[in-house]
Amino acid sequence: MASPSSDLHFILFPLMAQGHMIPMVDIARMLAQRGVLVTIITTPLNANRYKSVTDRAIKSNLKIQVLELKLPLAEVGLPEGCESFDLIPSTALVVKFFDAIAMLEEPTESMLQRLTPAPSCIISDSGLPWTTGLAKRLNIPRLVFYGPGCYTYLCIHIVANTRILDEIKSDSEYFVLPGLPDRIEVTKPQASDWPKRDSKERMEMFQRIEEAGKAAYGIVVNSFDELEPKYVEEFAKAKDKKVWCIGPVSLCNRSFLDVAERGSKASINEHDCLKWLDLREPGSVVYVCLGSLSYASTEQVIELGLGLELSNKPFIWFIRETNEELKRWLLEEAYEERIKDRGLMVFGWAPQILILSHAAVGGFITHYVLKIGVRIGAEVPVSFGERDNLKVMVKREDVKIAVEGLMNDDEEGKARRKRAKELGEMSKRAMEEGGSSHNNMTSMIQEISEEVAKNNKPFQDYR
């Protein structure tokens, strides 16, 4: 007898951004390993970025196919090639990018109607609210994908659905965010940045996402139950939905190539990177990466570099993009020469999972209440749409103090690293057979199978 998953056909529709695309490709492989037929829908450029990984999966007899849709860029006034958030030349064009994505609804529906076997379920990013109407017309469930975890989205839900910010008059005063299992203090600007609704377009977009989320069948999260148990529970209550934590999905990458080629092509040879790390003491290196969509002013990048230099700790520093001003500073100050004995700079894309899984890496600077981090950063956040107005928000001394706090061998530093190591081991167990994430994936597939059987209506009726 066939397993419940062998008759299922999942449609995965990621948002066109590397931090959203990469885990969705991982999820596709995880589903296919359970016998599910998976179709990933994306644009030609994004399909090409992950082609080596998906091709290897297909060659290993996993039932995955990638279908491409052309973004109507010219129709909304975007230049050719703007198929991913990291390729948008100006923040003023972000809304147009979302407009172009929304125009994919009709061609997507036409494509899905022609697929055999018929789709059983859609997993789509929360930023693609129109896929809810699509799923409804096809009489199949839609699951919303959330990447950052339940904690983040519970905070967003609370801010968006209460009047707490209306009661706060000061921008600098810290207040306790209500409805959370832990005492979390934030300022009004920090909390306001989560569901950013400072324009008519943003407000409408957020409302569409909220309404689509209410209509979704359930929620898939790239987290694991043991990491944030109270937040998983509270998030499910807040959304009144079943929440399946099936991560960290990056751990599905077992081969060197799958780990090294996760995302864009790395701007450093993977083997050279490992050789550099092999020369360092275990737990001694700080990895610095602000994400594929994070931007900082040239002055802030320089300040970060000087702070890393001041810390006197070994580091790998990923810089997403450079401009002439930064190149000139690096050259004139001979920065790379100064730090060459203990620092490695990576420009463009870094093989992040490969780096983080190396024994030499002991700390990670990036953009919770897990007792594994050191607070560093701006008191007033700068959102993605405001990156053109960036300035220095974090001083070099702050960077130095934070790195030392993270890497020093005092009692607090040791406890922090011990806790991080324990969470790492917990994450691996969660993904293994019998672990919480593995079981949640089984539960999700089973429930979708039962839902499909319950509907049990010919696909042709919905064409």
- Quote the CA–CA distance of 200 and 197 in Å, as a whole number: 7
Angle between helices 324-332 and 298-311 in degrees, nearest 10: 30
Q: Which sign, positive or negative, has the C-alpha torsion 113, 119, 121, 124?
A: negative
In the block, tokens 């490969």 appear at 354
Nearest CA to 365 out of 355, 357, 376 is that of: 376
Element (H, E) at 245: strand 242-245
Element (H, E) at 321: none
CB 355 within 8 A of CB 168: no
CA-CA-CA-CA torsion for 340, 345, 346, 351, nearest 10 degrees? 80
Strand runs (DSSP E) across 250-314, as ranges? 285-288
- Quote the CA–CA distance of 258 and 452 in Å, as a whole number: 32
Nearest CA to 179 out of 234, 242, 219 is that of: 234
The first and second tokens of residue 410, run together, are: 């005092």
Nearest CA to 114 out of 49, 61, 41 is that of: 41
Per DSSP, what are the bridge partners of residue 285?
361
- Quote the CA–CA distance of 452 and 443 in Å, as a whole number: 14
- Quote the CA–CA distance of 453 and 448 in Å, as a whole number: 9
Nearest CA to 223 out of 242, 241, 249 is that of: 249
CA-CA-CA-CA torsion for 267, 273, 274, 280, nearest 10 degrees? -150
Q: Please say if 125 is a catalytic residue.
A: yes
Omega of the bond prior to 117 within 30 degrees of 0, cis? Answer: yes
Per DSSP, what are the bridge partners of residue 40?
12, 66
Q: Please say if 358 is a catalytic residue.
A: no
Phi/psi at 196 (5° precision): -65, 120
The first and second tokens of residue 19, run together, are: 């931090």
Residues 26, 125, 193, 258: which is the catalytic one?
Answer: 125
Phi/psi at 213 (5° precision): -65, -35
Nearest CA to 135 out of 208, 213, 216, 207 is that of: 216
Residues 9, 20, 358, 438: which is the catalytic one?
Answer: 20
CB 358 within 8 A of CB 274: yes
Which residues are identified as catalytic?
20, 125
